[in-house]
Structure 1
């Protein structure tokens, strides 16, 4: 698939098949995240956790429901068989750089996933589940790292539809 086609077909998937994605697909998606731009090339400030254990996924889903009771989805991770958690070490000099790095990494991963036929959705809500020390210990996030965002992965149970490539923002061009 061409890059612009992957961008046009990428969507927030909220319904997944139960089938787990292939290891080769996961490796490709992770490798795409690994070539994302990261501030000052500090890849050591990033940690990626991949959760495919159904028991842990259920605990995360339950923890999100408890932390955000107003969320009315039956499953806050939409039944996805894989959850990717991106964590970053805090940086005193540039406090928001971890957020930007995480966004770049996850965007690369989502475009790569679309390219190979894997559905995805960027999610912030599961981060609220990571206040439970027992759950965090199951995720094996290294000390000093803070989870910033997550992405669900799986085969979409929704049809792929191409969007029109167009600018939706108010834009000012200064020449």
Structure 2
């Protein structure tokens, strides 16, 4: 796919087949993550955990449903892969701007790579917040000292079709300053 075609075809997928993602596709997606821009090139400030263990994914999914106050929800959408991106955070919004932006860039690059491969993906932040509050689940991620789950992406095969969509240019209020 061409870059703009991939961007215009990307969408949040919330239904997945019960099929494993190939290791080749997963490596391509992780390569896209590693190609992401990270503030001051401090790649050591981010960490990825690739989860393909259905039991652990289900436990994180349950934590997310509890977080949203609705146990019937499945915020990970039965996807076969969950990639958690963690970073060090201070808890001060202005200081966490770059680490959070780094995670968002990494998650988005993985979503674009998945789309390019014809795989479904969805950025996950609510269930990631729920995960970060469950110490017993965080321990199972074997994160480096001081790292906190900050964003995630689910990935898997889907029945959904990816096609370019029209994007209204007035979605985001935009000011132009020319002088």
Q: Distance in 2 between matches of 1:134 and 1:163?
A: 42
Q: TM-score, normalised by structure 1?
A: 0.92
Q: Please, which runs of 5 or more residues in structure 1 have no aligned partner?
A: none
Q: Distance in 1 between matches of 2:18 and 2:118?
A: 15
Residue 5 of structure 1 corresponds to which residue in structure 2?
5
Residue 150 of structure 2 corresponds to which residue in structure 1?
148
Residue 174 of structure 2 corresponds to which residue in structure 1?
171
Q: TM-score, normalised by structure 2?
A: 0.90
Q: Distance in 2 between matches of 1:114 and 1:68?
A: 27
Q: Distance in 1 between matches of 2:62 and 2:71?
A: 11
Q: Distance in 2 between matches of 1:172 and 1:71?
A: 42
Q: State the shift of 1:95 in Å.
A: 2.6
Moved over 6 A (4+): none
Matches within 5 A, 1:27-42: 27-42=27-42
RMSD over equivalenced CA pairs, Å? 1.7
Q: Deviations over 1:126-174 (max 9, x none)?
A: 2212322221121212221011111110012323232114422222222
**In 1, are the aligned partners of 2:115 and 2:162 still within 8 Å (CA)?**
no
**In 1, are the aligned partners of 2:67 and 2:127 still within 8 Å (CA)?**
no
Matches within 5 A, 1:53-68: 53-68=53-68
Q: Distance in 1 between matches of 2:64 and 2:167?
A: 34
Q: Which moved more, 1:139-148 or 1:125-134?
A: 125-134
SS in 1 for 2:95: coil
Q: State the shift of 1:72 in Å.
A: 5.0
Q: Deviations over 1:20-63 (max 9, x none)?
A: 11111111111111111111110000000111000101111111
Residue 115 of structure 2 corresponds to which residue in structure 1?
114
